[in-house]
Amino acid sequence: MKNLLSIFAIICSTLTFAQKIELKGKITDTDKKPVEAATVYLSSKKDSTLIDYTITDVSGNFKMPVKTIENPTFVTISSIGFEDFSKEFETIKSSVDLGTIQLIPGSDVLEELVITTDAAPVRVKKDTLEFNAASFKVRPDATVKELLEQLPGVEVDDEGKIKVNGKEVSNVLVNGKPFFNEDGKVILENLPAEIINKVQVTDYKSKEEKLTGASTTGETQTINLTIDEDKNKGLFGRFIAGYGTDDRYESSMLFNYFKGDFKVSVLGSSNNINSTGFSTNEIFDNMSGGRNNYYSSSSDGSYSINGLEFGGGKGIYQTDMIGVNYGDNWGKKNKVSMNYLFNEVENNNTNKTRMENLLPDNRYITESESKLKSKTGNHTFNYDIEMELDSLTTLTIVPNIKNTNSTSRNSGFSETRNEMGELLNKSNNTDFLSVDNTIFSNEFLVARRFKRKGRSLSIGFNNENRKNTTDQLKDAAAYFYQTNLPEDIRNQSINTNSHTDAYTVNVVYREPIAPKQTLTFMFNNTWTNEYQGRATYDFNTATGNYSNYNNLLSFQNSLKGVKTAPSVGYQINGEKYFFSINSGTTINNYDVSSLYNNERYLNQRLDILPSVRTYGNYRIGKSMSVYANYSYTETSPYMAQLLEYVDLSSTLSTTQGNKDLKTSTQHSFYLGFNNYDWQSRSGYYLYAGGSYNARSIGMVSTFDENYFSTITYTNINDTYYYWSGINYSKDFKLSDKNKLSIAAGLDFNGNKNKGIQNNIWYTSNNTSLKPEVSVTLDLNKKLILKPSYSYDINYMKYDNLPIQKTNYFVHNAGFMATAYWPKNVVFGSDVMYQYNSNIANGFKKDYLLWNASLGYNFLNERFLAKVKVYDILNQNQSVRRTATPTSIYDSEDTILKQYVMFSLTYKLEKFAGKKKSRFNIDED
């Protein structure tokens, strides 16, 4: 307690008594026009250590708050296209007004500038925001994630999603190439920050846009991490092994070898603690929960890389994984990258669910339990070669192959009662499944730029071929108690085969019609052949095998068609604005046919699907912009929604398609505004978006007295969903070594859904409000404290259902503490608390998860010995509530419980060239 009070006193005294002085001035060019986004940074004369920095505003003005400085320093002003300006100070004891400073044009005034002094911490180019990694203080053993969190305007949330000034980052590259996957989750916790030279943020471009040099809508962003030249030749890695109570174990490795353009990485892991094995977080390694929360971010605990699932499934699972990533340039004109990943997951889970089913005239309660044991193996291979045929023409080939084999045993039972407690039905089942699934896709693209700037032609050919074979042994029974509906007993062998083959030709031609304006002509043609077949055999007691073919539970379905989609687009790209509009029509000509119970069905359709899409942004300043998009789309029904026969596959329901369904129509919009003030180190962004479904497709359900349902489909009008929010962040520099960061946000979301049950239309409206706040106190990278809190309020309103409304709220609170003191000691503590007000009786409403870790570095910090405790209070649980338009259900699964683990980490680092120190952290 004394230590905490001392820390609080230091913060208060620093904020209250620090003398407020500043450097200020105005930057212009030789024509006396203001220079916006020039970088102004103050450095120590002794060793060029960065003290502080800012950038000029739209009027060329800057203010940089500093504290009294007794030692010699120098200020540098740098802007692309101009020579640097520098001025020295022996001391800074009072505010300094530099007046108006004119920058002299440099030799390269367009894009780049050769800097003779240390690199500026931040550069704002026309379409790129660039950070000099060495200017941002991180620990000597920090990861890329920690580096990104230090960059102004950059956020990394609990799910590993990155945003820069409010815009989502969809692509993270290393020296312009993907590292296992493009979303960056492997990079975040595995690459050391010390090898990074620059962090470059640009608008995301598709491969076709990159190769043709076309402008992009820029709705998401790309981060490219360039490696320091001294670190781009050598090897580094990390190896972890741990064993704990209840036979819990973990092991993981990441080995990297870089030599210029040649890069090889090997990634491996094996554990039974519900981890993907990708995290090498120094505090908790692969332990889930707390700061590693995003490594099990989906609803079922799975995690996907290039479509490859890791973890996967609720319950407790064991994961084994190995992967290889390779990148190189073959000669001067060929760029190659490839990776292979294999993983195997064994899962065990017991599920308990209570579901309240809402009907217009009644409600029913279904209680069920099930047990699952499964094993899944995945192989994924990705390859990307880019060949420069000449200075203006590029060919790329991108094949991808994925194969999945899985086996599972699932057994369970359920029973449904009405409000009076009367039993309506009950069922039980035991299923054995064996699945073999293969996906092969390929992108073949030739892109040609012409001598006239902005003119380009690209021709692409894509294919996607999917094949699935499933063998199932099914033992199931359903019993009904309110009418004379006969019981349904099944002992069957079911073989299901399906394949989808799609081939697409895509042509894009761009023609500049003015210096800033371009017309784009596109043509897309896709041939599709889709097949689904099921053969069901009942058990023959006379022969002792499955030989009785069941016509009513067997079928053959197919969809064959051609989609032709011409479109035309217009773009205007100014210095501060961008606008694009694209309009086209897809002609979808397809046949849906079925063979069921010796009867053939044929549905021939011709759907005309118009579409419009617009996007625009306006850059008010270098760090302030507003952007918006709107789109109108029409889509055809799925094959399953059009099938005309009655599907009897389920023991508790039947399903029949509707051949007369109309297309779905959707209006979507998005509006965003972001602003980051470099001088006050604060920023905020606002966003709003949603979709209005003028016409969609929904289910029509009819339930009899036994709660046996008959399901079909119909068109539904006037449904929607929306989301909006505001986020704010600010950094306070307490001293040269201490920093306080505050982040706050408010989300507001809602939707409206409709459907038909027992011939009555129902409507549900859902709105939610979620304020959240977090504070991070960083004391010289030796002690980092981060409390956080969020409050999620949900409102559900119903029309023509037995309940009018249901409301509930969820509290989430957390506190993370990290200490790198005393020397060589690493300590971490993560506490998470959740309370859900509306969990049903029989389920616990709240839980407290507390993880802690204590480690010690030795042998020149190459080894780290650690003891970790998961769920210290033994309160972890997996109860969750989900509300749908027609049901409210609570579910509980097997959960990983308390364990203690001892682990040892070995860190390998060997680079060619002289190793540079850039962290400047006191070890006292």
Question: Could you report the per-residue pLDDT of 713-757, keeping only the tens digit for each?
Answer: 999 999 999 999 999 999 988 887 888 999 999 999 999 999 999
CA 129-133-135 angle, to 5 degrees, is 100
Cα–Cα distance, 448 to 430 (Å, whole number): 58
Region 374-389: what's the mean pLDDT? 94
Query: If pLDDT is split at 50, 70 and 90, which confidence band does 107 have?
Result: low
The one-letter code for the residue type at 535 is A
Q: What is the pLDDT of residue 19?
A: 52
Region 416-435: what's the mean pLDDT? 94
Cα–Cα distance, 253 to 860 (Å, whole number): 20
Query: If pLDDT is split at 50, 70 and 90, which confidence band does 145 have?
Result: confident
* Tokens, residue 464: 């996607």
Q: What is the pLDDT of residue 20?
A: 67
**pLDDT, tens digit, 9 for 90 and up, residues 876-888:** 888 888 878 888 8
Q: What is the pLDDT of residue 160?
A: 74
Which of the residue ranges 122-126, 413-417, 688-692 would you say has the lowest mean pLDDT? 122-126
Residues 6 or more apart whose CB falls under 8 angstroms from that of 344 comprise 319, 320, 321, 375, 376, 377, 378
Handedness of CA 833, 834, 835, 840 (dihedral sign): negative
Instruction: Report helix, strand or coil for 292.
Output: helix
Q: State yes or no: pLDDT of 917 exceeds 50.
A: no
* Most confident stretch, 121-135, 193-207, 433-447: 433-447
317 burial class (0-12, 13-18, 19+ CB within 10 angstroms)? Answer: buried
Cα distances (Å, whole numbers) of residue 845 to 189, 237, 806, 877, 895 = 33, 43, 16, 10, 15
Cα–Cα distance, 227 to 236 (Å, whole number): 13
The number of residues in the chain equals: 924
Contacts of the segment 10-17: beta carbons below 8 A, 24+ positions apart: 10/734, 10/738, 11/734, 11/738, 11/740, 11/777, 14/734, 14/735, 14/738, 15/732, 15/734
Instruction: Report helix, strand or coil for 705.
Output: coil
What is 18-113's CATH number?
2.60.40.10
Q: Which residues pair with 586 in a beta bridge?
A: 609
Q: What is the pLDDT of residue 468?
A: 98
Q: What is the pLDDT of residue 291?
A: 60
Cα distances (Å, whole numbers) of residue 640 to 243, 530, 557, 586, 643 = 49, 11, 9, 21, 6
Number of CB atoms found within 10 A of residue 807's CB? 12
Which of the residue ranges 283-297, 357-371, 411-425, 603-617 would you say has the lowest mean pLDDT? 283-297
637 vs 121, more confident: 637
Region 295-317: what's the mean pLDDT? 49
What is the topology classification, in CATH, of domain 121-231?
A: Ferric Hydroxamate Uptake Protein; Chain A, domain 1 (2.170.130)
Q: State yes or no: pLDDT of 303 exceeds 60.
A: no
The one-letter code for the residue type at 156 is V
Number of CB atoms found within 10 A of residue 663's CB? 19
Residues 6 or more apart whose CB falls under 8 angstroms from that of 401 comprise 379, 380, 381, 438, 439, 440
User: Model-level pTM?
Assistant: 0.86
Q: Pseudo-torsion of CA 253, 257, 261, 267, nearest 10°?
A: -20
Number of CB atoms found within 10 A of residue 147's CB? 24
The pLDDT > 90 percentage for the chain reads 59
Q: What is the CA radius of gyration of the chain?
A: 31
Cα–Cα distance, 670 to 166 (Å, whole number): 13
Which of the residue ranges 85-89, 141-145, 247-251, 546-550 would you say has the lowest mean pLDDT? 141-145
Q: State yes or no: pLDDT of 14 exceeds 50.
A: no
Number of CB atoms found within 10 A of residue 548's CB? 15
Q: State yes or no: pLDDT of 15 exceeds 80.
A: no
Q: State yes or no: pLDDT of 279 exceeds 70.
A: no
**pLDDT, tens digit, 9 for 90 and up, residues 47-68:** 777 888 888 888 899 988 888 8
Delimiting residues of CATH 2.170.130.10 domain(s) in the chain: 121-231
Which of the residue ranges 79-88, 453-462, 521-530, 879-888 would you say has the lowest mean pLDDT? 879-888
Q: What is the pLDDT of residue 123?
A: 83
Delimiting residues of CATH 2.60.40.10 domain(s) in the chain: 18-113
Q: State yes or no: pLDDT of 377 exceeds 80.
A: yes
